[in-house]
Chain A
Amino acid sequence: MNTMDFQEVGLREINRALQAVDSLTNSREWAIENPMGQHAIACGINAPLSVHIKGNVGFYCAGMNQQAEVIIDGHAGVGLAENMMSGIVRVKGNASQSAGATGHGGLLVIEGDASSRCGISMKGIDIVVGGSVGHMSAFMGQVGHMVVCGDAGEALGDSIYEAKLYVAGSVESLGADCIEKEMTAEHEQTLADLLERSQINKSVQSFRRYGSARKLYNFDIDHADEY
């Protein structure tokens, strides 16, 4: 285990060290102590590391992550794992707005609640939220899955493309072009796999599925009121 203390070495040294690790290294276990809610911690990693951040983090933690598993033992600020490409990011507390924004791949697990715009413009990422999500979550979601074990705020999936949404609790309202869809056995299997990978124990039967009605895919003046 390699341990770095944010208070002692600072942001640049932490990221430089994590980004410099070779993919073939045996030195895969890293711990970051005293993160103090600072921004951009553990962003831009591109190696199969296991990074354990022991405390709260600020904006853009694990941004654009590739391959690494990043665990945050606290809460996370805006843009957690934004534009993530692969790997796993797990926050044990809550996440602020725009968690997983534009993520292209990998798995983001938020054990607590996520604020507004969770999964905005998601492009392939899988997001599993143990609690609830705020308004406009999965806005313009393109590809990937979002699983919400609690409730969803207003305008869920507004202007959604092909992202698939699963919500166990209530949905305050659906956004433009987002509708409830049939849950098939295939969807249940996908959902079960996501919950298992996320280590969240929740019955698949309690979820409903939402996705795009595909009515706004090509501009139609008769749908102008929906925009």
Chain B
Amino acid sequence: MDENIPRVTPRESATFDEYTRSEIRRAASTGIYDIRGGGAKRHLPNFDDLLFLGASISRYPLEGYRERCGTDVTLGGLNASKPLELKIPITVAGMSFGSLSGQAKESLGRGANLAGTSTTTGDGGMTPEERGHSKQLVYQYLPSRYGMNPDDLRKADAIEIVVGQGAKPGGGGMLMGQKINDRVAEMRSLPKGIDQRSACRHPDWTGPDDLEIKILELREITNWEKPIYVKVAGSRPYYDTALAVKAGADVVVLDGMQGGTAATQNVFIEHVGQPTLACVRPAVQALQDLDMHRKVQLIVSGGIRNGADVAKAMALGADAVAVGSAALIALGDNDPRYEAEYNKLGSTAGAYDAWHLGHDPAGITTQEPELASRLDPEVAGRRLANYLKVMTLEAQTIARACGKNHLHNLEPEDLCALTVEAAAMAGVPLAGTSWIPGQTPY
């Protein structure tokens, strides 16, 4: 090689980057797709692409720490005789005992109680501990019907019919055999140690007409007391919301693709569904078109992280939000203090997502007694409560700055977008313009 000829710097392919190459090597080595927990990790348009305008001459702000800014929300008052009354509009999303340790479920209940909100069961049924530690518990009604029984249905404060999950619209679930210990197996009526598949479709209804009858049955069994939620993935939010309302839902839960899962194929998590930001306005539009906005409540989930996200979702028309992954982080998931152990598992704090394998050093996504015992439910519950309260305070701070005396009074007119994409998705003007792509001329 002639030393006098300048050499071109070695260049990696943007298409075949290091992560992509490692995944190809892994697939070639194992012959099986990558399964993991959590939600989409790729960059997606999100609430950070929106900004609040704040008050000025044309808007009158409220005094922080002095003037009241309400945060309470009532869920399910349309048809249920006992709607949920929550102090804050941030609920804890459905996560199962089985995917999570008993200690983690107890922590979620304790945290939600302290903050004045609800928590939610998951696939696998309701445990007595969970019911005992959750003042307001939403009982998920899933396609698998693992552990489903009318006694627990009557003990619930609300019922959430799960049609879809943001991490995997159209997909079922998988709980790997190593997490199916004696108790989990008994609750799910399955042999110990086998991979447990959760069905992707409900076994006894198929379309919205059937769903309407299913809701009728659940109401009849529970004496028309319980709010009925319908949870849909961020897939076709306008039509799914409209059909859920048509079927008789009291509350629609809309889960965007940043929403987490206990275990699903990585390709599914990253490539199916729509970002949460893109889902909110179509769902709200459906409610408005049916004259059901604020009558049927909308709970938005999938990547909610802080009070700004809460405020933005509500400004776009949501009545409340739900947190799942963020709640686990508050408990201690992916905490850097376990870095050495994450390293032993081939990961690092912040990237650990092998929740399906059940070796979580933080004691959250595991059924191993030694690991699970690391999580103190009282301490972890307090951490969650603190986090929920901080988010609420943050959202109130923003709402007051926009002149709102209740979080529900936030509105799209309080927002602008930083990118054309976010402006189009959220239906708010691009910053510095009055342009809403697809709605107004530039």
Residues of chain A touching chain B, judged by Cβ–Cβ distance below 8 Å, are 11-12, 15-16, 19, 39-40, 43-44, 46, 58-60, 63-64, 66, 78-79, 82-83, 85, 97-98, 101-102, 104, 117, 120-121, 123-124, 139-140, 142-143, 159, 161-162, 217-219, 221
Determine if A60 and B194 form an interchain contact, defined as CB atoms under 8 angstroms apart: no
- The closest CB in chain A to the CB of B31 belongs to A221
Determine if A40 and B31 form an interchain contact, defined as CB atoms under 8 angstroms apart: no
Is B216 close to A, CB under 8 A?
Answer: yes
Is B148 close to A, CB under 8 A?
Answer: yes
Neighbouring B residues of A63 by C-beta, 8 Å: 217, 221
Determine if B223 and A124 form an interchain contact, defined as CB atoms under 8 angstroms apart: no
Neighbouring B residues of A66 by C-beta, 8 Å: 150
Is B3 close to A, CB under 8 A?
Answer: no
Knowing A59-B213, A60-B213, say if A16 contacts B223 (CB, 8 Å): yes
Interface locus among B64-72, B199-207, B335-343, B364-372: B199-207
Is B294 close to A, CB under 8 A?
Answer: no
Minimum Cβ distance to chain A for residue B193 (Å): 8
Option from B191, B194, B210, B221 in Cβ contact (under 8 Å) with A43: B221
Determine if A161 and B203 form an interchain contact, defined as CB atoms under 8 angstroms apart: no
Neighbouring B residues of A40 by C-beta, 8 Å: 213, 216-217, 220
Option from B32, B194, B214, B223 in Cβ contact (under 8 Å) with A217: B194
Is B385 close to A, CB under 8 A?
Answer: no
Contacts A64-B149, A221-B32 given; 16 further ones with Cβ under 8 A? A40-B216, A59-B214, A64-B153, A78-B205, A78-B210, A83-B145, A83-B150, A97-B204, A98-B203, A101-B203, A102-B204, A124-B189, A159-B197, A162-B190, A217-B194, A221-B31
A185 to B210 alpha-carbon distance, docked (Å): 43
Within 8 A of A (CB), among B203-236: 203-205, 210, 213-214, 216-217, 220-224
Determine if B149 and A15 form an interchain contact, defined as CB atoms under 8 angstroms apart: no
Task: Give 25 CB contacts A-B under 8 Å.
Answer: A16-B223, A19-B221, A19-B223, A39-B217, A46-B150, A59-B217, A60-B217, A78-B210, A83-B150, A97-B204, A98-B204, A101-B145, A104-B148, A117-B203, A120-B203, A120-B204, A121-B144, A124-B189, A139-B203, A140-B199, A159-B197, A161-B190, A161-B191, A218-B177, A218-B193
Minimum Cβ distance to chain B for residue A84 (Å): 10
Is B195 close to A, CB under 8 A?
Answer: yes
Within 8 A of A (CB), among B175-202: 177, 188-191, 193-195, 197, 199
Determine if A101 and B204 form an interchain contact, defined as CB atoms under 8 angstroms apart: yes
Neighbouring B residues of A143 by C-beta, 8 Å: 189
The interface bits of chain B over 92-123 (1 if a CB of A lies within 8 angstroms of the residue's CB, else 0) are: 00000000000000000000000000000000
Neighbouring A residues of B224 by C-beta, 8 Å: 12
Neighbouring B residues of A217 by C-beta, 8 Å: 177, 191, 194-195
Determine if B213 and A58 form an interchain contact, defined as CB atoms under 8 angstroms apart: yes
Determine if A64 and B199 form an interchain contact, defined as CB atoms under 8 angstroms apart: no
Neighbouring A residues of B144 by C-beta, 8 Å: 121
A103 to B193 alpha-carbon distance, docked (Å): 23
- The closest CB in chain B to the CB of A40 belongs to B217
- The closest CB in chain B to the CB of A44 belongs to B221
Minimum Cβ distance to chain B for residue A97 (Å): 8
- The closest CB in chain B to the CB of A227 belongs to B197
Neighbouring A residues of B203 by C-beta, 8 Å: 82, 98, 101-102, 117, 120-121, 139
Within 8 A of A (CB), among B267-316: none
Knowing A15-B220, A19-B223, A123-B189, say if A79 contacts B205 (CB, 8 Å): yes
Minimum Cβ distance to chain B for residue A127 (Å): 14
A43 to B216 alpha-carbon distance, docked (Å): 10
Neighbouring B residues of A16 by C-beta, 8 Å: 223
Knowing A11-B220, A39-B217, A59-B210, say if A102 contacts B191 (CB, 8 Å): no
Neighbouring A residues of B30 by C-beta, 8 Å: 221
Determine if B32 and A219 form an interchain contact, defined as CB atoms under 8 angstroms apart: yes
Minimum Cβ distance to chain A for residue B441 (Å): 50
A188 to B165 alpha-carbon distance, docked (Å): 44
Neighbouring B residues of A101 by C-beta, 8 Å: 145, 203-204
Neighbouring B residues of A159 by C-beta, 8 Å: 197
Option from B150, B205, B223 in Cβ contact (under 8 Å) with A64: B150
Neighbouring A residues of B177 by C-beta, 8 Å: 217-218
Minimum Cβ distance to chain A for residue B211 (Å): 11
Determine if B220 and A12 form an interchain contact, defined as CB atoms under 8 angstroms apart: yes
- The closest CB in chain B to the CB of A16 belongs to B223
Knowing A142-B190, A161-B190, say if A64 contacts B221 (CB, 8 Å): yes
A79 to B213 alpha-carbon distance, docked (Å): 11
A123 to B190 alpha-carbon distance, docked (Å): 8
Determine if B145 and A121 form an interchain contact, defined as CB atoms under 8 angstroms apart: yes
A161 to B180 alpha-carbon distance, docked (Å): 15
A143 to B144 alpha-carbon distance, docked (Å): 14
A19 to B296 alpha-carbon distance, docked (Å): 28
Neighbouring B residues of A218 by C-beta, 8 Å: 177, 193-195
A120 to B206 alpha-carbon distance, docked (Å): 14
A29 to B139 alpha-carbon distance, docked (Å): 33
List 10 tightest A-B contacts by C-beta distance, closest first. A44-B221, A79-B204, A102-B145, A217-B194, A98-B204, A64-B150, A40-B217, A123-B189, A221-B31, A60-B217
A162 to B188 alpha-carbon distance, docked (Å): 12
A162 to B30 alpha-carbon distance, docked (Å): 29
Determine if B191 and A162 form an interchain contact, defined as CB atoms under 8 angstroms apart: yes
Minimum Cβ distance to chain A for residue B177 (Å): 5
Neighbouring B residues of A58 by C-beta, 8 Å: 213
Determine if A121 and B222 form an interchain contact, defined as CB atoms under 8 angstroms apart: no
Neighbouring B residues of A221 by C-beta, 8 Å: 30-32
Neighbouring A residues of B188 by C-beta, 8 Å: 142
